[in-house]
């Protein structure tokens, strides 16, 4: 992953593939998809969970260098049903769906609680 050494903020060269690959290396290989009704469906157990039940362990924002409206957040999550480490890619800002906004608002934010070591956690961009 390409970062600015001084700030550890992602550079314009950081890709979605880079971020997903880094999370997968840390054990976040499953996927939680946002359903139309604002639940999260796990690729491992196929169960739906409310955002409030899903642990948010790390969040990485990416914005398109050529299109500032291309804003996504890569979430490192823990499925409450099967305990799988998973990622979810959701839009934020003007292109976010109501369901994505609901998920981002309601996730159980547990960043910094130790599931991802500080040295391994992905920095958030400002």
51 domain residue, yes or no: yes
50 domain residue, yes or no: yes
Q: Give the pLDDT score at 15.
A: 86
Q: pLDDT-based confidence at 62, cuts 50/70/90?
A: confident
Q: pLDDT-based confidence at 121, cuts 50/70/90?
A: very low
Overall average pLDDT of the 24-46 stretch: 96
Residue 75, strand partner residues: 59, 88
123 domain residue, yes or no: no
Q: pLDDT-based confidence at 43, cuts 50/70/90?
A: very high
Tokens of residue 87, six digits:
């990622």
9 domain residue, yes or no: no
Q: Give the pLDDT score at 38.
A: 94
Residue 94 has pLDDT above 90, yes or no: no
Counted domains in the chain:
1
List own/partner pairs for 65-68 with CB under 8 A and 24 or more apart: 65/12
Give Cα separations from 76 to 5, 59, 67, 109, 116 (angstroms): 23, 6, 24, 11, 9
The separation between the first and the last C-alpha atoms of the chain, rounded to the nearest angstrom, is: 17
Q: H-helix or E-strand containing 16?
A: helix 16-25
71 domain residue, yes or no: yes
119 domain residue, yes or no: no
Domain region containing 21: 16-109
Q: What percent of the chain has pLDDT over 90?
A: 63
4 domain residue, yes or no: no
34 domain residue, yes or no: yes
The CA angle 75-34-114, to the nearest 5 degrees, is 25
């Amino acid at each position: 992953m390409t970062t600015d050494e001084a700030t550890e903020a992602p550079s314009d060269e950081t890709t979605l593939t880079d971020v997903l690959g880094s999370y997968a290396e840390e054990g976040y290989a499953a996927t939680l998809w946002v359903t139309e009704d604002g639940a999260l469906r796990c690729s491992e157990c196929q169960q739906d969970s409310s955002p409030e039940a899903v642990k948010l362990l790390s969040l990485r924002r990416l914005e398109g260098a050529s299109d500032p409206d291309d804003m996504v957040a890569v979430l490192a999550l823990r499925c409450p049903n099967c305990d799988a480490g998973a990622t979810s890619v959701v839009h934020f800002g003007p292109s976010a769906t109501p369901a994505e906004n609901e998920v981002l608002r309601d996730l159980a934010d547990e960043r910094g609680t130790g599931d991802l070591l500080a040295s391994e956690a992905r920095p958030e961009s400002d």
